[in-house]
Structure 1
Amino acid sequence: MRIKNFLFHSFAQIFFPIFLVLFFIASVVIFIRIASVTFVIKISFFELLSLYFYTLPTMIFFVIPLSFFIACVLGLSRLSFDYELPVLFALGMNPQVIIKIFLPIALLASFSLLILSLVLTPLSDVAYRQFLEERKNSININLQAGEFGQKLDKWLVYVQKGKEDTNVYENIVLLSLAKENNKENQGLIFAKEAKIVNSNGTMEVILENGKVYRKLGEYFERIGFEQLILRNAIQAFDGAKLGLIEYWQQAFYSNKRQEKTKRNLSMSILLSLFPLMSLFYYPFLGIKNPRYQKNYTILQAMAIVGLFYALMYLCASYIPLFGLVLLPLVWIVVGYWLYWHYIKRFY
């Protein structure tokens, strides 16, 4: 029991600082991603926090496996180079004891990750996309006066002046981004005033007093207008009514999201099982002889993690369902061979 508490204490001292640092870095990345949304739609501070909380399950899901692996390896490595593990081995402790001690927390970590990836992540993903679609459908468009590169559906938009919270803009320029017969439509519209409204589920851009320029062969056509209405039907979010089972069932029948869902399912399960599958890698990387070996543990751990992530991505992309069996089997066998060849024979 004392050895178990001793190892858990060493693990916890490293796990929580690493987790918090990675969580902070991931949060910064998420906020940058959410900030990019505000270039398209207007959201309040509390809505921004809502989007952040929608991404929490995915963020935690990717942070925990890396933190867990590094903490297990570095915890053992620190005990090795402090001569505490060599003393325990000299007193008769077997490396298998370390594996038995880490097995319950690896099971707990993998179970928690499966809940995060297969239950909470799909629900938060649907909620996130539904929230964005609802905000877009509310026609609360965020067009900034004087800024270039803004998009409104299939139009590139520039406005000289905008009236706050009214969706009314002055001196607007629209360049069509639509493609017809693989050739870009050269439509260009100038208008003195534009108003964006939601009319019975259709987004309408009402343009007043302007001109349309279109390329017809070798010539340009100019059309003047007093009022021009551009309409675009608002599309409902097709995943709004998806339940948890229906969400993952998309991986097993033909639909536009089948390949992506199949890849996500494979990656979710493989990454969830990573702490449990890597049980033999913890002593292999963490147990060192401080008298004869140098401390390259963190580099070795990052190399192993990078290799697993690369293999996971390849399996999920090219053999998603078969990879769910192949990668765990190969990873465990290789890990056991390394553990037996480099650790078990000598301790």
Structure 2
Amino acid sequence: MKIKSYLYSQLSISFLPIFLGLYFITSIIFLVKIASLTSVITIDAFELFKLYGYSVPKIIFFTVPISFFISLVITLAKLSSEYELIVITSFGFNPMKILKIFFPSTFLLSIALLIISVGLIPKTDYLMSTFLDKKKKEANFNIKASEFGQKFGDWLIYIDKKDGKNYENVRLFKTQEGLDQFILANKAVLNNKDGELNFTLIDGKAFYIGDEELNQIDYRTMDINDSIVNKKDFIFTDSYNYWKYSLQNNSDIDDFTFFILTSLFPLISLFLVITFGYYNPRYEKNRAIGLSLIAVVIYYVITKYLTKNIELHSLYVAPSIWIMGTYYLYIKTTKKLY
């Protein structure tokens, strides 16, 4: 138990600086992307923080697997360089027993990454997309007081006074084949619900002027939509139904498989951890970090290629290839020496 606690304490010392560094760098990238949106929409500090919050699951998903894998390798490499692994091995802890010590935490990490990627990221992506659609729609609608020629959907609109989303003395006009529509309102309120704009007109009159008749309606409130709501084939409710719909319609399959395979990366790379971490400092140089980075790049390239070309089949092809390949390296290097 003392050796197990010691190994995990060394892992935490390696993991935190690497994770925080990658998290900070990735956060900067996402914040720059969010800031670039200000050329299209206007957001305040609270909304900027809100958009960043929607990005946090992705930042964690992209940084944790790499950080954890490299930290495991660095932990063992550090113990090797200080001859501590020799002492641990003398107590009967061969590489496979070291691997078994790290297996439970790595397994739990992969489960957590699966929950974040497959469960949480689709929801935050939907919330961000909805928020941006709403802001873009609002940005495109900029009615100014006492100006002619402005439009609200199919309506020509003129207002006397504007205070935020509240308007006074509103006139709306629309002409169609054989029918002209003219609406007056003492007050109006602009509503933006999930990117769909509508006017709530208060206390006014509506005139419908045809070729042979004229109708007048006095109203207390009336709603005027900017445009007909675009019908979508799928309405997001939860991540399970989202992925179910996507798989049935062959959409976003590469994202689904990439999320799963990336979540499994730390777990199926444990043989690489002991392969790169074990070395004799008297005869070999510490190449753990360089080899780890090369392994990460190779895995992500293979994963991207397989998810694009064989889609769902990559869920068993990629792990099988990776585990067999890393186990072969382990047999040829570390196993025969330790």
Instruction: Report the TM-score, using the length of structure 1 for normalisation.
Output: 0.71
Q: Is 2:326 aligned against 1:327?
A: no
Q: 3-state SS of the aligned residue for 1:97? A: helix
Q: Is 2:305 aligned against 1:306?
A: no
Give the equivalent residue in structure 2 for 1:248.
243
Give the equivalent residue in structure 2 for 1:77.
77
Within 5 Å, which residues of 2 pair with 1:169-318? 235=230, 240-254=235-249, 258-259=250-251, 261-318=252-309
Give the equivalent residue in structure 2 for 1:28.
28
Q: Point out where structure 2 has 5 or more consecutive residues left out of the alignment.
A: 143-161, 166-189, 199-225
How much has 1:64 moved relative to structure 2? 0.5
Q: Hey, what's the Cα distance between the residues in 1 that align with 2:336 and 2:230?
A: 64
Q: 3-state SS of the aligned residue for 1:140? A: helix
How much has 1:234 moved relative to structure 2? 6.7
Within 5 Å, which residues of 2 pair with 1:44-83? 44-83=44-83
Query: Aligned letter for 1:62?
Result: F
What's the CA shift string for 1:45-80, capped at 9, x where partnerless? 101111110111111011100000000000000110
How much has 1:118 moved relative to structure 2? 1.1
Is the CA contact (8 Å cut-off) linking 1:270 and 1:328 kept in structure 2? yes
Is the CA contact (8 Å cut-off) linking 1:202 and 1:233 kept in structure 2? no
The 1:87–1:133 alpha-carbon spacing in structure 2 relative to 1, beyond 3 Å, is same
How much has 1:297 moved relative to structure 2? 1.2
Q: Hey, what's the Cα distance between the residues in 2 that align with 1:85 and 1:23?
A: 30
Q: Hey, what's the Cα distance between the residues in 2 that align with 1:242 and 1:314?
A: 31
The 1:283–1:314 alpha-carbon spacing in structure 2 relative to 1, beyond 3 Å, is same
Query: Aligned letter for 2:282?
Result: R
What is the count of residue pairs matched by the alignment? 268
How much has 1:238 moved relative to structure 2? 6.7
Q: Point out where structure 1 has 5 or more consecutive residues left out of the alignment.
A: 144-162, 167-196, 204-230
Query: Aligned letter for 2:34?
Result: I
Q: Hey, what's the Cα distance between the residues in 2 that align with 1:83 and 1:53?
A: 44
How much has 1:239 moved relative to structure 2? 5.8
The 1:57–1:95 alpha-carbon spacing in structure 2 relative to 1, beyond 3 Å, is same
Is the CA contact (8 Å cut-off) linking 1:11 and 1:72 kept in structure 2? yes
What's the CA shift string for 1:187-212, capped at 9, x where partnerless? xxxxxxxxxx9999679xxxxxxxxx
Is the CA contact (8 Å cut-off) linking 2:134 and 2:192 kept in structure 1? no
Query: Aligned letter for 2:298?
Result: L
Query: Aligned letter for 1:247?
Result: Y
Is the CA contact (8 Å cut-off) linking 1:76 and 1:287 kept in structure 2? yes
What's the CA shift string for 1:264-323, capped at 9, x where partnerless? 100000001111111111100111111111011111110011000000100111111001
The 1:42–1:312 alpha-carbon spacing in structure 2 relative to 1, beyond 3 Å, is same
Give the RMSD, CA atoms, in angstroms: 2.7
Query: Aligned letter for 1:102?
Result: F
How much has 1:328 moved relative to structure 2? 0.4
The 1:164–1:55 alpha-carbon spacing in structure 2 relative to 1, beyond 3 Å, is farther
How much has 1:81 moved relative to structure 2? 0.4
Q: 3-state SS of the aligned residue for 1:288? A: coil
Query: Aligned letter for 1:92?
Result: G
Query: Aligned letter for 2:139?
Result: N
* Percent of pairs with identical residues: 37
Is the CA contact (8 Å cut-off) linking 1:23 and 1:59 kept in structure 2? yes
Give the equivalent residue in structure 1 for 2:5.
5
Q: Hey, what's the Cα distance between the residues in 1 that align with 2:235 and 2:192?
A: 22
How much has 1:93 moved relative to structure 2? 2.6
Q: 3-state SS of the aligned residue for 2:86? A: helix
